[in-house]
A and B are shown apart, each in its own frame.
Chain A
Amino acid sequence: MNHFTGPRRIATPAPDLASDGAAGAPAISDLAPAVSGPVPAPARARCKRLTPARAGVYAFLIAAALFFLLPLYVMIAASFKPMDEIRQGGIFALPHAVTLEPWRQAWSGVCTGAACEGLRSGFWNSVAIAVPSTVLTILLGAVNGYALSFWRPRYANVLFGILMAGAFVPVQVMIYPLVRVLALAGIFGSLPAIVVVHMVFGMPVMTLLFRNYYCNVPQELFQAARIDGGGFWRIFLHVMLPMSLPIIVVAAIMQVTGVWNDYILGLTFAGREHLPMTAQLNNVVTTTTGTRAYNVDMAATILTALVPLTLYFVSGRWFVRGIAAGAVKG
């Protein structure tokens, strides 16, 4: 367990770092030298000069941004075109006859089988699956990470190693044993089943995140809490958990994205009444011998991605701030 990742790290975790660069690693070009003397110390420049180096930085970032945005442009353009235009080709062309029909269809009209309700019906199912999965998996990951890094019971590292190895196995391989186990437990094809399955598959990464985070918390803090009379659960609930808010947000983002975008597990384990939105999305986009409506496919994909995307927009700051508090060190 590494306490220090560099020289003289301060003992309190989560230094207050704003993530939009207002206070953080200061730009090299305007660090004031600490020495005072015959050379007058220049004041911290208010405006940054546009040196060739900075221009290069901006050029690279803009080029990268264009690369990242290219597919999104194609998707959005296609989602506003009628199918005739798409059949004609030219994926970069702006739509001639802009139409909102694909969006309306994707949300409420597209036929997925004998039901023609679009993606709308799966939305609340996805929410019902995502919320308990995220909360329970994060809770378990936090407890695991806490126990692994501070208490270190015997053979805990072996169990952790098994989890890490299991994270490499493709999900499909484990489906059959899980089906049998859940059938034996009598909950196959229901909401608890899919939540349990997401917990099983989310546990390795969540445990890794929290374990690394707590490894960065200095041992002295923990020992002080123990001396003051805290037991396992007390220290966890009253000391560690409140301190872990940044990493909890990070874990929530990763877990929600994973759960929201999953459809294989949802199809197999959730039972008919709880099919997630991505199962509907899969029905819309994937057909074997039917005709494909690409514009509806694109609209449907963007609609499905809106929830994780909104989460990113809203918690973007928190995301970076959380990891800054030491999740990935050690």
Chain B
Amino acid sequence: MHAAVRRLLGALGCALALGAQMSAQASAQAPRAEVIHWWTSGGESAAVREVAQAYRGAGGVWVDTAIAGGDQSRAVTVNRIIGGNPPTAAQFNTSKQFVDIIDEDLLGTVDEVARRDRWDQLLPAPIVGVIKVRGHWYAAPINIHMQTWLWYSKPAFARAGIAREPQSMDELFADLDKLKAAGIIPLAYGGQGWQDSLTFSMVLANLGGRALYLSVIRDRDQAAIRSPAFRRVLLAFKRLQSYVDPASPGRNWNDATALVIRGRAGVQIMGDWAKGEFTAAGQTPGRDYGCMTGLTPDSPYLIQGDVFVFPKTEDAATLRAQRLLAETVARSDVQLAFNRLKGSLPARLDADVSSLDPCARKGMAILRDPQRPLGVSEVYLTPDQNGALQDVLTAYWNTNMPVERAQKSIASALRY
């Protein structure tokens, strides 16, 4: 009896101590994360709400600071870091946008989460190259967009008598000619700088191939830029301009997608965010529209994505909140929920995408093939170099610049 009572008292004491500790922890602050991002449109807002809900479910408090416009949002982030009032986390692209912030030692790392989840094997190589700097992981990726899909209107193709998808650049030009003959706008286009860059990337990847793309964009090899192969790419890029309608300059990308949706235009070269427009108009892939990842079976799959970075802090509570956010974002189910609404792919290669639409499934299969994914230009170039390249491309597209001069200008733009 004595021993039993003593044991009971011991257990009671333990339970009390445990309870006290638990209540102490509960009364400690729940991790509070203020997140700056630029997901402000309808579908994007719904997507980021999934992440917020998951974070709350994991015990955190999500404070949302949405600022429309990528560069506006990043500018506010940088200014707040400088001003001493940084957010807990901020959205950036998988790019060199935050390389300077890392150099100034203003970003914290997420090494524990990365090592635990083995991000080295779980993420595509171009993404790893951007978020792992000097052995440390500085960002938590959440999604992957592919920039150079070809979207086409099935009714328009039928009217123009195009039986199957083009399998090379020459076939693409032939199909565009058929569309023009049928009185349909061959290429739905929005004449803005970044769209010119995007179209050029598609031509460089599909016509120039993987090797040329890497030597120009990643290595900035002057000889490659001045080569005849690159010249051919530029000429093909300019040739596409003859297939756009006169009202294309300045048009927003979604207005160009609307042309394809209505069947007034045949093809659009745009990233997978265009899928949201088709879905919002009630169209289904395979019946109303088609999606192609490239013209050849081994064309490079150009990826970009969104990541969360974590401004450096000494505060323990903030560090806990950042860690929790990194863990939440890296979860497979959270990534699926986010990407289903956003139209992109999960960053984790092991995510189960069977519940996503056919175009997304197609993309994921290619993503898993280590030979196909390459980064978009901003993965390899600094914002300044990328911008200078875009300036040349947009001038070349819009004026009568001779191709040799374009080659020279690109060479000097990428020299610095």
Contact = CB atoms under 8 A, between A and B. Distances in A.
Q: Do any beta carbons of A and B sit within 8 angstroms of each other in the complex?
A: yes
B84 interface: yes
Given A291-B277, A292-B252, A113 B83 contact: no
B304 to A, nearest CB: 10
A111 B41 CA distance: 7
Nearest to B75: A268
A291 B48 contact: no
Interface string B357-379: 00000000000000000000000
B276 interface: yes
28 contacts: A87-B258, A87-B281, A111-B40, A111-B49, A113-B37, A113-B64, A114-B48, A180-B82, A188-B83, A188-B85, A267-B67, A267-B72, A272-B65, A279-B67, A282-B67, A282-B68, A282-B69, A286-B40, A286-B69, A287-B38, A288-B70, A289-B145, A289-B253, A290-B273, A290-B276, A291-B43, A291-B254, A291-B276
Contacts, number: 114
Give the interface centre of A189, A287, A289, A290 by most chain B CB atoms within 10 Å. A289
Interface string A262-291: 001001100110000001001111111111
Interface in B65-92: 65-70, 72, 75-76, 79-80, 82-85
Interface residues of A, number: 34
Counting chain B CB atoms within 10 Å of each CB, the highest count among A279, A284, A285 belongs to A279
**A113, A180, A183, A282 — which one has the most chain B CB atoms within 10 A of its CB?**
A113
Interface string A245-269: 0000000000000000000100110
A291 B37 CA distance: 16
B237 interface: no
Nearest to A113: B66
B200 interface: no
A179 interface: yes
A188 B271 CA distance: 38
Given A267-B72, A283-B66, A290-B276, 11 more contacts: A113-B64, A114-B45, A183-B82, A183-B85, A188-B83, A188-B85, A268-B79, A282-B69, A287-B44, A289-B44, A290-B41
Contacts of A286: 40, 68-69, 72
A116 interface: yes
B68 A115 contact: no
B159 interface: no
B398 to A, nearest CB: 22
Chain B interface extent, by class: 35 or more
Contacts of A180: 82-83
B189 interface: no
A175 interface: yes
Q: Which interface residue of B40, B76, B80 has the most chain A CB atoms within 10 A? A: B40
Contact of B48 (A113, A175, A264, A272): A113
Given A179-B82, A291-B42, A291-B277, A114 B66 contact: yes
Contacts of A176: 79, 82
B62 interface: yes
A292 B41 contact: yes
A291 B83 contact: no
A46 to B, nearest CB: 55
Nearest to A172: B75
A114 B43 CA distance: 11
Contacts of B39: 113, 290
Contacts of B68: 112, 282-288
A271 B69 contact: no
Interface string A136-152: 00000000000000000
A203 interface: no
A3 B39 CA distance: 58
A268 B49 CA distance: 24
B83 A114 contact: no
B40 A182 contact: no
Contact of A287 (B41, B62, B63): B41
A130 B361 CA distance: 51
Nearest to B277: A291
Contacts of B262: 87-88
B273 to A, nearest CB: 4
B82 A189 contact: no
